[in-house]
Amino acid sequence: MKIATRTAAATLVSLALVAGGASAAHAGHDANPSEKVASYGYALNAVQPADVPGSGASGKTRVKALPNGKLQVTVEAWGLSPNLPHAMHLHGVPGAATDMGCPGPAQAGDDGVVTVLDGAPFYGGILTSLTSTGDVSPASALALDRFAVADESGYLHYERTFTDVPGYTDAGTVQVVVHGIDFDRNGMYAFNPEDPFASRSSSLGAAIPLEATVPVLCGGIAN
Ligand SMILES: [Ca+2]
Ligand SMILES: [Cu+2]
């Protein structure tokens, strides 16, 4: 029974993906320069409260659906933790195009930090990992050796054109989320028991430092 249920669910998801793809072509967003290219530009806004160390980043992103079914994603950000890779993803919900949103400081709660799971009700799950090379599936969500690295001033530039993007349904409804803050500024994502933030675990697992996964920037709210 379990297998049958899973198969039925998988079929539903597949159908929903097809439906989402079809509706994407007709999405009536004002940023459409033509029928063939749907291009969406967004500001990337700080997710964390201002008193979280390293929270003061900013940026912009562009998600462009090209006529041949390819998807081009550009991210430019300032004020990120320098000399470190930053996990980035397209977040959303699979299936029919549904625009989610971005969490903000109000979602920090009692621990004072917006974790990945605090943000999930807003930006959804991971649809695509915005890696620089190789796999782009959700399985690469934390493949830090393949994400773009911020330079010594905290500037990051990323651009990649994807084919056959897994889970992607509509360029107009994804959220772009950039992760990773070196809270204690020691040049790495690691546990530091002496630091009030770097001592914490990610909401994704006790063995993962909060530093590596904490969301910094988010953009993509309905335009
Ligand atoms: Ca650190
Ligand atoms: Cu993410």
Ligand 1 centroid, distance to 186 Cα (angstroms):
5
Distance CA 221, CA 223 (A): 6
Distance CA 214, CA 212 (A): 6
pLDDT in tens, 34-79: 556 788 999 999 999 999 999 999 999 999 988 778 899 999 999 9
Q: What tokens were used for 219?
A: 């953009």
Flag whether pLDDT at 208 surpasses 90: yes
Ligand 1 centroid, distance to 194 Cα (angstroms):
11
When the pLDDT of each residue in the chain is averaged and rounded to a whole number, the result is 83
Give the confidence band of 7 by pLDDT, cuts at 50, 70, 90.
Answer: very low
Distance CA 124, CA 102 (A): 9
Ligand 1 centroid, distance to 201 Cα (angstroms):
12
Ligand 1 centroid, distance to 189 Cα (angstroms):
4
pLDDT in the model for residue 113 = 98
Ligand 1 centroid, distance to 111 Cα (angstroms):
18
Ligand 1 centroid, distance to 93 Cα (angstroms):
31
Smallest-distance ligand from the CA of 210: 1
Give the residue with greater pLDDT, 169 vs 158: 158
Alpha helices in 71-140 (DSSP H): 116-123
Backbone φ/ψ region at 197: left (φ over 0), alpha (ψ -120 to 50), beta = alpha
Domain ranges of the chain: 2-219
